[in-house]
Structure formats: structure tokens, C-alpha cells
Structure 1
């Protein structure tokens, strides 16, 4: 009987040690990300610098992109992409806060918290020369997430490559659809050939790409809606040892 109690004590001790070990490991990972080298950051406190940001917007008098109160505002009736003119490569993390505003604005619609990343242009058109219409990007190479697309009925992850854009992941129900006027923390990670997309620290999509897009540009994307974006940080990540 004593031996049985002793064995149980040893098992419980081992389980406790393993749990503590996992917690310490997770804490170290968070600290590591916080201390990663910052490549770029913006609090959007200044007027939009068109040398840093390239705006491709469907021609429409009811659309505008600007900064206000520490936020990048995309208030558009048609399609829009706001590119960061900084080519990213290797391992990196992009994080920012974003809200789809639904109030009394002329373009307010709960839809399309979208983004492009690792984007490059294999054609003669060249980067930052498209109309802002969604179909104008079909011949580019990039990753794309459409969070709450199609009137907030779908959330999809695609890879555009060689004229194809297969759906690599899809959700059709909450909690993977948008909530109006909610501040989301959006995080995108490219590391060791694997890409992942996170919302409020919840993993939405992860893909280990056999032919990863190793470098390219990041852009905020949307259509017919009003978005507020803040606290953009791009960090360089170290490869997994």
C-alpha cells in the first residue's frame, strides 16, 4: 500500500514538472518575439507618407485613404490596396490592430478585413501599378486572406501563383467571421517556409508551403467598407534551430 502511494506521488510530481516546463517554454517564446528586431513600425500619427505607402484604389469619388487620430483609415466604395513599400524576406512577423467600422458612414459595410503579403509581380506591369480592382491582382504571386469576405459570409486563405489561386483554407461560420466595431489584433508569421495567420492570438490558418514565397510586399486590402488600422509592427524572426 505504501509503495502504491509512493508511486502515485512520483507520477503527480512528474506531471507537475512537465506542466511547469511547458509554461516556461511558452513564456520564453513570447519574450523572444517581443525582443525580435523591429524592421518597421508606424503609429500613423503623421499624414500618409506616399513614399512609404503606395495606394491602389478603384477610381471613385466616394473613396479616400488617410490618417487620423493615430489610425490609417480606408473608407472606400470600391477596392483598395495600401502597400507598404518595403520588400520583406526570410522570417518575419507582421502585427497590427484593425476594426471594421459600422455606423452611419457612406461606405460602412461589415465585410472584407483582407490583406496581401509576400507579394511580387512576375509580369511587366510592375508593383504598385494596378487599379485597386480585386481581379487586377490575379496574375501576381502572393498570399491572401479575406477575413469576412462576401458580405461577411466567408473567411478564406489563398496562394496566388502562376495564374492560379487555390483556396488553402476556408471558414463559413463564427467565430471566424467579423464582428462590427471590434478591435482585432491581426498577426501574420512567415517562418522557415511556413506561413500562419492569427486573429486575437487564435490561429486561423497555417500552411507549410512546398514552394514558399520567400520575399515580397505586404498590403492592407479591402473593398466597399470603412476600416481603422493602428499599431503596425514588422519584426524579423530568427530561424528555428
Structure 2
């Protein structure tokens, strides 16, 4: 190869690399968003994790009671559950963070439970976030087998919890699990108005925030819970939680939040 050819090859390689870096930079810039969390707190949200489930569900750990299943179908994570299930994102998250995902509670209203809809129930589109186990602070999954998806077995964890449409779609509730079995329910966090419950077969865009003491839960852009935690959880795992339910999870994203100074 002549010196000129060598130089031209190196130039082309450099050009391709620069173009690729520019494209990556544009994508990162595209994923950065400015969000007003409170009247006096504006943050920049930068994408750090995402899963569109195009490659399966290997990023997730399933804890489930017998007779249920979790699987990959039509480019989504799908849950059929009977007695209790938590599907954990394997990566431990460090705050401040924002989590977003799409969920649909499926219900075939044309069929009875005996025909095909044994799992179809408009109830319990629930979630855990910033979850840790004080017995195993570096490994949430050390006791995974013993928890086995049974709801009461999660009482020993420290976490934030929202249960949308629980109690046969009559309640939506927020709780802070203390890690010692306590999970108080404040009156303002116990909602029963139908507007806070589940309409089956409709997309729910969920957003969870843990920014120091600012703990928030949004559904379809509406702020439902805005809690101030004097002793906030600053790291932990996200888990999709349900019982006797048929639903899908898609477009999962985690953002790092940083304060924007005016």
C-alpha cells in the first residue's frame, strides 16, 4: 500500500469514528431532559439504563409463587400470575434517579375465567423501588428463593411501594417500608376515587422519582404521590409487583437526575 493509500485509509477510519461519536453524542443529548419536579427543584434527566425487551428478559429476576409464569412475548415482558410475583431489574440503582416504563393490565372481557381468563383481572399494577435487604445489603437476591413472590415476605425490605388498583381494583396506595416490618399507610396515601384505579387494556406510563427526600409517583404524566422522606433511600432495586394479574412491561428506562441551577 502506498503512503497516500495508507493516509487515506486512516483518514476514512477517523471520519467514520467521528461520525459514530457524533451520532452517539446526539443520542445522549436527545435522551437528556429537563424536568420540574417541584416548585423549587428543576433537574436534568440523563438516560443510564434502558430495556425495550427486544432481546428478551435476561436483565430481570423473577420471584413468583406456583401456578404463574413470566416470559418474553411480542417484544415485551409478560406476566401471568396467580398467587404473587415480583420481577426485579437486576441492576442496583443509585440515586438520585427517575424510572419510567409502560404497563398494560390485560383483561379479555369476552371470556370467563373458566374459558381462558383465569389470570385476567383488573387489579394490582404495583411496584417497588429503591429496595434493599438489611440482611444482605450488597445482594438483594440472596434471599430470593425464600421470598418466592409471596407478598408478606417482602415486609423485611426497605423500599418505596405503590399499589395501583389493589383490593380488587378499589384502592391505590403508597407506603414506605422501613425494613423492620413497619409500612405505615398515611390517610392521604390511601386513594379510592375511580380516577386513581385501573382501566384494563389501556397503556399506563409510570414514572418513579427518588431525588434525595423527594419521592414521587406519576401515572400518564399526572403526579399521584409527592412524598417528602426525612430519611430517604438513596439506592436499591426496582421491582414490578403484582398478584392474580395478567400484564405487560415495556420501554423500561432509568435516568440519573442532577439539579439544574437557575
Q: TM-score, normalised by structure 2?
A: 0.75
Q: Is the 8 A contact 2:71 2:78 kept in 1?
A: yes
Structure showing the higher helix proportion among its residues: 2
Partner of 1:106: 118
What is the CA–CA distance in structure 1 between the aligned matches of 2:86 and 2:155, rounded to whole Å?
Answer: 14
Q: Is the 8 A contact 2:56 2:75 kept in 1?
A: no
Partner of 2:193: 173
What is the CA–CA distance in structure 2 between the aligned matches of 1:28 and 1:164, rounded to whole Å?
Answer: 35
How far does residue 192 in structure 1 lie from its aligned partner after superposition? 3.0
What is the CA–CA distance in structure 2 between the aligned matches of 1:85 and 1:57, rounded to whole Å?
Answer: 15
What is the CA–CA distance in structure 1 between the aligned matches of 2:209 and 2:127, rounded to whole Å?
Answer: 13
Q: TM-score, normalised by structure 1?
A: 0.82
Paired positions, count = 209
Are 2:172 and 1:152 aligned?
no
Partner of 2:46: 37
Q: Is the 8 A contact 1:144 1:158 kept in 2?
A: yes
Are 2:139 and 1:118 aligned?
no
How far does residue 124 in structure 1 lie from its aligned partner after superposition? 5.3
Stretches (4+) displaced over 2 A: 27-30, 123-126
What is the CA–CA distance in structure 1 between the aligned matches of 2:136 and 2:51, rounded to whole Å?
Answer: 31
What is the CA–CA distance in structure 2 between the aligned matches of 1:167 and 1:39, rounded to whole Å?
Answer: 32
What is the CA–CA distance in structure 1 between the aligned matches of 2:134 and 2:223, rounded to whole Å?
Answer: 30
What is the CA–CA distance in structure 1 between the aligned matches of 2:148 and 2:230, rounded to whole Å?
Answer: 31
CA RMSD of aligned residues (A): 1.9
Partner of 2:61: 54
Superposed CA offset, 1:11-30 (max 9, x none) = xxxxxxxxxxxxxxxx9547
> Helix, strand or coil: the match of 1:213?
coil
What is the CA–CA distance in structure 2 between the aligned matches of 1:88 and 1:127, rounded to whole Å?
Answer: 12
> Helix, strand or coil: the match of 1:75?
strand
What is the 5 A alignment of 1:62-77?
63-77=68-82
> Helix, strand or coil: the match of 2:102?
strand
